[in-house]
Structure 1
Amino acid sequence: MSGWDAYITERDKRLFPLTGYGERGGFGERPVLLVIDVSYAFTGDGPEPIFESIKRWHNSAGEAAWRAIAQIQRLIAAARERRLPIFYTTGPQAPIAGDFGMGRWKDKCGRETEDLEPERANRIVREIEPGPADVVIEKGKSSAFFGTLLPSYLADLGADSIITCGVATSGCVRASVNDGFSYNYRMIVVEEGTFDRAEASHWVNLFDMHMKYADVLRVDEVLEYIGTLPDDLFVDRMPILKRAAAGGLAAR
């Protein structure tokens, strides 16, 4: 039984097995890890109930964020051990021409500019902060691919698959998974490593991605897969991974 069963109608539970959707796509051979938008704006300052957390950070997912962070820590540790490239995304570190850079976000959520600490909002939380060999991508829209260098980086690495986690399941994770799928990458979404403000949105979007665009898998299965990989897949194209693993680089 999956967490999305509570949100999917009995009709659809009967329907989808008959359509052919939901087949397993499988792991790739050259995966990278993509950690989407795990910043204080979406996590709050710590594990507290969402109705408390949103008083300070209106986009916070509350306790759900911190449960996911604990699993993301495991993914990052495993990826670093196998010297896999790790990409983080976050929003712009400074406003772009006031609220102009927000585009249509300000139409849908007028509270976007209300966070008390705008300079901290897009800072990746300390518990999973990037290391010296990791790549941080600032993005202005939902998808990690839209208007960023991520497609170029992935092509240079010869990656064939993307292990994805972060926030929001129904927003930036979903948009990035759709785009990655459209670029023909095998997309893996880590169930316990994703989170959202809305419970229904979280589970329905995991279900829909699993049906069409990705394999939504439990964290233990993904960790087991990472553990089978050689640790030299990318060091020829990204030598910093070897130096970082050897402890030769200072933390950021």
Structure 2
Amino acid sequence: MESTMQTSDKTAREIFEEVMANPARSKFGFGEKLAIINVDPQKSYTRPDLFPKTAYITDPNQMTHINTISTMARDKGLPVVWTHVAYMENAADAGVWGTRTDTPDSLQNIKYGSERHAFDDRVDIHEDVDPVYTKRMPSAFFETPLQTFLTWHKVDTLVLTGGSTSGCIRATAVDSLSRGYRTIIPVECVADKHESYHFANLTDLQLKYADVVDVQDVKDWLIAYEG
């Protein structure tokens, strides 16, 4: 049998824009109660001036958008969660993920308490009410208390921000849908190293696992939310 895989001369961005422009595309939609999950907005990934080999900027206003919707959610009594990645000094907790390379920029060399582990100075975290989890694998759910926290708060919708789109955002979105959550990805709030990875994964997320929306859609929902 011959391959039936489609081919195209279009860029990943062009394919994404076509998918998003389709008026017939259906949505999962927002549910009754959301949580904002800010995935790894840490300096290792948000400060290319400090870490040019691992950090990236897609929308220059990403951190502002993250702060805005996080503040709006918090002010309505909705959960706001932050994650970041780090490992022990000997990287014994990095697993096979930490075995491909061993350079100063390698994943397993994001050490607890290091500048790479630190959150971007621009994000506004309220640690008195916002859970902060250090994770070691792509998904924000894997070996963190996130699931039980969301269950306790009767959340049915997750808004994912952070990066990378093709890595930890995608992994978290797949786990989110697999656990029965409506999953929302505001496009201005996620970033990746290359537009090809970014838009190809946004397309796939939109078609299968999540609603990719404008951040204004999240703001509008939060404005209308009455608890």
**CA deviation after TM superposition for structure 1 residue 191, in Å:** 0.4
Q: Does 1:90 align with 2:84?
A: yes
User: Quick one: distance in 2 between partners of 1:109 and 1:166?
Assistant: 24
- Report deviation, 1:91: 1.4
Q: Distance in 1 between matches of 2:64 and 2:82?
A: 16
Alignment partner for residue 175 of structure 1, among 168, 171, 177? 171
Give the alignment's TM-score, normalised by structure 1.
0.75
Show CA shifts across 1:192-245 (max 9, x none): 000011211111111100101000000111101111101xx4xxxxxxxxxxxx
Residues 202-217 of structure 1: pairs in structure 2 closer than 5 A: 202-217=198-213
Gaps spanning 5+ residues in structure 2: where? 1-9
- Partner residue of 2:144? 148
Tell me, yes or no, if the aligned pair for 1:65 and 1:196 is still in contact at 8 Å: no
> Any conservation in 1 of the 2:88–2:111 contact (CA below 8 Å)?
no
The structure where helix makes up a greater share of residues is 1
Aligned 8 A contact 2:173 2:209 in 1: yes
SS at structure 2 position matched to 1:202:
helix
Q: Give the % identical residues.
A: 24
CA distance 1:205–1:109, change in 2 (3 Å) = farther
Which residue is equivalent to 1:79?
Answer: 73
TM-score of the aligned structures, taking structure 2 as reference length: 0.83
Whole-angstrom distance in 1 between the partners of 2:145 and 2:60: 29
Change (3 A) 1:100 1:214: same
Among 7, 10, 13, the residue aligned to 2:12: 7
| Structure 1 residue runs without a partner (length 5+) | 45-49, 234-252
- State which of 173, 192, 198 in structure 1 corresponds to 2:188: 192
Code of the aligned partner of 1:143:
S
Matching of residues 98-247 of structure 1 within 5 Å:
98-111=90-103, 112=106, 119-131=114-126, 132-230=128-226, 233=227
Q: Measure, in 2, the Cα distance between the counterparts of 1:121 and 1:97.
A: 13
- One of 59, 65, 75 as aligned partner of 2:54: 59
Residue 89 of structure 2 contacts residue 111 of structure 2 at CA under 8 Å; is this kept in 1?
no
Conserved 8 A contact 1:170-1:205: yes
What residue in structure 1 maps to residue 36 of structure 2?
Answer: 33
Q: Which one-letter code corresponds to 1:130 in the other structure?
A: I
Task: Give the direction of change, closer, same or farther, for the CA distance of 1:7–1:198 in structure 2 (3 Å limit).
Answer: same
Give the superposed CA RMSD. Answer: 2.7
Aligned length: 211
Say if 1:41 and 1:157 are closer, same or farther in 2 by CA, change over 3 A: same
Distance verdict in 2 for CA 1:152–1:36, change over 3 Å: same
Farther-moved stretch of structure 1 (106-115 vs 32-41):
106-115
Determine helix, strand or coil for the equivalent of 2:115: helix
3-state secondary structure, aligned to 1:222: helix
> Which residue matches 1:242?
none
What is the deviation of 1:102? 1.6
Q: Distance between the aligned counterparts of 1:149 and 1:87, measured in 2?
A: 11
Residues 84 and 117 of structure 2 are in contact (CA less than 8 Å); yes or no, is this contact kept in structure 1?
Answer: yes
